[in-house]
Structure 1
Amino acid sequence: MGLEITAAGMASSLGDFKNGCAAARAGLSRVSPHSEFNFLDESSADMYPVSVHAAMGDALAGFSGTGRLLRLAHLALEDLLENVAEGLDDLSRTAVIINMGSGYYWDECERQQSVDLDSADGAEPSDIIGLRSDRSDERRKALDTHFIQTLIHVAGVGSEPGHTELCFSDAAGVGEVLNKAERLLDLPGIDRCIIGGVDSLLDGYMMPALIELDVLSSPNNPAGFFAGEAAVFFVVENGAGGMATLSSPLAAMETYDDAPGAVVVGQKLANLLNRLVAVEPVLANVGAVIGSVNGTEKRAMEWGTARIRLPKALANTMDWHPAEHFGETGAAAGFLAIALAQRAKARGYMGGESCLIYQSSPYGQRTAFVLR
């Protein structure tokens, strides 16, 4: 049957839910120089500011760390509350599930530094790809303890949610969140779920790792991504006759990650999408595929090599990639994809009856589902 979307809210570099989606539809993006971080152009020896997709103008000025994520989430929740048909004063029968970043770039930076130290000592490089650092573990534990409760308090909602849960699975975590929402809505004590993703790659704790890993688009690395940030929330229910319906997501795990030297052939993603086509008959008239291409060679190679293995049902679809307009938004990217698909459906430019959405996380997780 699927999850019915009944309300949406967003905070992004292009604005709130309706304005941001409209701006992306018009092909707009809003890139600005980071106020604290610069690149050295090796060819000219000049310094250039890092270009980023900062959210909501000056609304996040002065916020950093957990405070920045809370402010971002608060702005998106305010937008959601403005768009919801019924008030959310009583959350006792509402579950809140939020996806956040895993800390992958922190972890990968520390892994590479460990490899460099091992090599300098003449030892074999440590085989710790995928290891989560103590620092990112501490951050996740701190967020898990208070983030949702603080967000609900700041938003001024009258009661505690019936269930709260955080996931730390980057972009593909959207599938994990949808699965959790489906299971919770089958319980007698839960009538609806607020689901969403919140992430920022602009903060002072993350930006040094991105620069060290050389994954950002720069004069020295044109095949990189622009760091972005966003928060997106939806109210989902069962059988509510909402704005759009989300299918049950499928998932797959690759044997590689986004680390330098990882091989990308797109076979697992192609298999995942072919499995989805097999179980979703509505994909006979799919209008668009919204994916995870973000400017890096690996993501482009993954989608390009998967694209040629897809069935005829997906041969003539439009390809949309939110990072083109919002930058790389990590854990929020999958929910941005849902927002763009829902507005395309509502405004009549989806090009078909449904939209296929897939998302890739840097640790190797992949998920795919359908909005109809």
Structure 2
Amino acid sequence: MNTGSLSSPTRAPGPTLPGDTIAITGLGMVSAIGSDVVTSCASARAGITRWRELDIQVTDADTLEAVPLKGHEASSTTFGFEGFARWLRLGDAALRDLLAHSGLHPPAFARIGIHLQLPGTWLEEIHFQGSLLDRLPEAERERIRRDRETERTEKREELTRRFLPELLAMNHLPLAPRARVYSFGGAATFSQVLAQAVEALRSRALDRCIVGGIDSWVDEETLTQSFELGLLRTPDRPVGRFPGEAAAFVLLERLDAARARGARIEAMLGPVASTLETGHRFSGRPLTGAALFQAINACIPAEVRQRQEVGLTILNLNGDEPRAREYGYTLVRLQEAGLLASSRRWYAPEHFGELGAATGAVSMCMGVRGFMRGYARSPTILVSLLDDDRPRGAFLLRDSPWRQDTSGVTSLPGRHS
């Protein structure tokens, strides 16, 4: 059923906003606790988790028995698939969900683009550097590095040649090659992806843009690397992350384009900011929270500060002690600046596990569904993104000023029941 015109801003009174305001008009998602965005976010809201035993086993020091690691696996979607095929399965499920959720039809395909984030190679590189490489002669090390660089380049070229064409073909979504954009990196890279999409919309290169991320930390190669780097929680390691997997997509449109097709306005995208830390998770440099503070500070306008409208933060604390310490430093800086230190917080990894490149899009889905179902209890949501690598990011989500309850009566943002 097409739900694209259930709550068009042309049918309800509301504020006058510039035509280049960025509206969120569709969501799509698949995760370990839901095969679509509605089920995934409702399950997270209810505190549901779904654990699966993974292929790696460790010895429990107390019982001396082999114990499998646990994680959050979207087994109904990904069982039996690895690598490229696993990402494609996740992406296909999430994109199908978005197309059904948003009411997009072929006439709207003409000026639509897709900006997709996939995992970068940072984890692989750190894992490789921690191998026996340093024990080899310099000439041998240099040769291995060159070979690996060539191999990575070839893999990246093959991935970018095949992935989006296959994903789009599976969903009968014909997009021109120039409208397909890839980005690679961890959670905080998503802010850069959003900023690129916003620029394409406001420059009128596109009318609407699908933005999303796909990642799997339970995929065999990533799972092994993260375990050997000591990032995962085990019976003998009380801090660390549980691996997860997900894909999520969000449809962004200029407000004028959304109005023209009678789209349902689910939320608005506010300012987006990105920064870089001086070091990364394994660099040995202290992470002081300065970069994340700068990103948050940059994306909160003066009027939002004055009204104290941000009553909820979504962030990706995942059980990793250095990440928690960094966010603690960020909170100190926020408190000193009079910003957000006491806001409520939701943690995406609590329900979905570590999601890497999918974290930002999943966080957007959580926030928008919170608006739509009335449990966000805030007209504005801050999404803060930490990372193992250097990037840090933040952006604001705003509730739709044309929110309607089931009786068709317009509700004020953040006040619906």
Is the TM-score greater than 0.5?
yes
Match of 1:274 in 2: 297
Identity of aligned residues (%): 31
Q: Judge which range, 151-160 or 323-332, deviates more.
A: 151-160
Match of 2:381 in 1: 355
Matches of 1:233 and 1:97, distance apart in 2: 10
Matches of 1:280 and 1:225, distance apart in 2: 37
Match of 2:79 in 1: 61
Task: Give 2:44's aligned amino acid.
Answer: A
Matches of 1:189 and 1:260, distance apart in 2: 39
What is the number of equivalent residue pairs in this alignment?
Answer: 362
Match of 2:44 in 1: 24
| Contact persistence 2:73–2:218 (CA under 8 A) | yes
Match of 2:129 in 1: 111
Match of 2:88 in 1: 70
Matched, 1:214 2:233: no
Secondary structure (helix, strand or coil) at the match of 1:194 reads strand
After TM superposition, give the deviation of residue 104 of structure 1 in Å: 1.9
Identify which of 290, 295, 298 aligns with 2:322.
298
Identify which of 249, 271, 288 aligns with 1:233.
249
After TM superposition, give the deviation of residue 193 of structure 1 in Å: 0.6
| Contact persistence 1:96–1:161 (CA under 8 A) | no
Identify which of 113, 118, 132 aligns with 1:100.
118
| Contact persistence 2:117–2:185 (CA under 8 A) | yes
After TM superposition, give the deviation of residue 233 of structure 1 in Å: 0.6
Matched, 1:168 2:196: no
Matches of 2:48 and 2:164, distance apart in 1: 32
Task: Give 2:60's aligned amino acid.
Answer: D
After TM superposition, give the deviation of residue 186 of structure 1 in Å: 3.1
Q: Judge which range, 156-165 or 202-211, deviates more.
A: 156-165
1:295-343 per-residue CA deviation (whole Å, 9 max, x = no partner) reads 1001111111111221434133101110000000000001111111101
After TM superposition, give the deviation of residue 364 of structure 1 in Å: 1.0
After TM superposition, give the deviation of residue 175 of structure 1 in Å: 1.0
| Contact persistence 2:278–2:285 (CA under 8 A) | no
Task: Give 2:318's aligned amino acid.
Answer: N
| Contact persistence 1:7–1:80 (CA under 8 A) | yes
Secondary structure (helix, strand or coil) at the match of 2:104 reads coil
Matches of 2:178 and 2:116, distance apart in 1: 14
Matches of 1:42 and 1:117, distance apart in 2: 30
Match of 1:256 in 2: 279
Secondary structure (helix, strand or coil) at the match of 1:287 reads strand
1:252-291 per-residue CA deviation (whole Å, 9 max, x = no partner) reads 1001111274422212222332233355626721111111
After TM superposition, give the deviation of residue 62 of structure 1 in Å: 1.0
After TM superposition, give the deviation of residue 213 of structure 1 in Å: 0.5
| Contact persistence 2:112–2:206 (CA under 8 A) | yes
Distance change (3 Å), C-alpha of 1:42 and 1:260: farther
Match of 2:98 in 1: 80
Matches of 2:322 and 2:65, distance apart in 1: 28
Distance change (3 Å), C-alpha of 1:121 and 1:191: closer
Match of 1:91 in 2: 109
Task: Give 1:94's aligned amino acid.
Answer: I
Match of 2:57 in 1: 38
Distance change (3 Å), C-alpha of 1:159 and 1:293: closer
| Contact persistence 2:277–2:287 (CA under 8 A) | no
Task: Give 2:246's aligned amino acid.
Answer: A
Match of 1:48 in 2: 67
CA RMSD of aligned residues (A): 2.4
Task: Give 1:316's aligned amino acid.
Answer: S
Match of 1:247 in 2: 270
Distance change (3 Å), C-alpha of 1:37 and 1:236: same
Q: Judge which range, 84-93 or 266-275, deviates more.
A: 84-93
After TM superposition, give the deviation of residue 188 of structure 1 in Å: 4.2
| Contact persistence 1:90–1:159 (CA under 8 A) | no
Match of 2:173 in 1: 157
Matches of 2:155 and 2:30, distance apart in 1: 23
- The structure with the larger Rg is 2
After TM superposition, give the deviation of residue 40 of structure 1 in Å: 2.8
| Contact persistence 2:281–2:322 (CA under 8 A) | yes
1:9-37 per-residue CA deviation (whole Å, 9 max, x = no partner) reads 10111111011111111112111111x22
After TM superposition, give the deviation of residue 160 of structure 1 in Å: 4.5
Task: Give 1:300's aligned amino acid.
Answer: A
After TM superposition, give the deviation of residue 103 of structure 1 in Å: 2.3
Matches within 5 A, 1:313-352: 313-352=339-378
Secondary structure (helix, strand or coil) at the match of 1:255 reads coil
Matches of 1:299 and 1:273, distance apart in 2: 16
Task: Give 2:359's aligned amino acid.
Answer: A
| Contact persistence 1:171–1:333 (CA under 8 A) | yes
Task: Structure 1: state its 5+ residue gaps.
Answer: none
Distance change (3 Å), C-alpha of 1:188 and 1:320: closer
| Contact persistence 2:300–2:396 (CA under 8 A) | no
Task: Structure 2: state its 5+ residue gaps.
Answer: 1-19, 260-264, 399-417
Q: Judge which range, 296-305 or 155-164, deviates more.
A: 155-164
After TM superposition, give the deviation of residue 208 of structure 1 in Å: 1.4
Matched, 1:184 2:210: no
Match of 2:218 in 1: 202
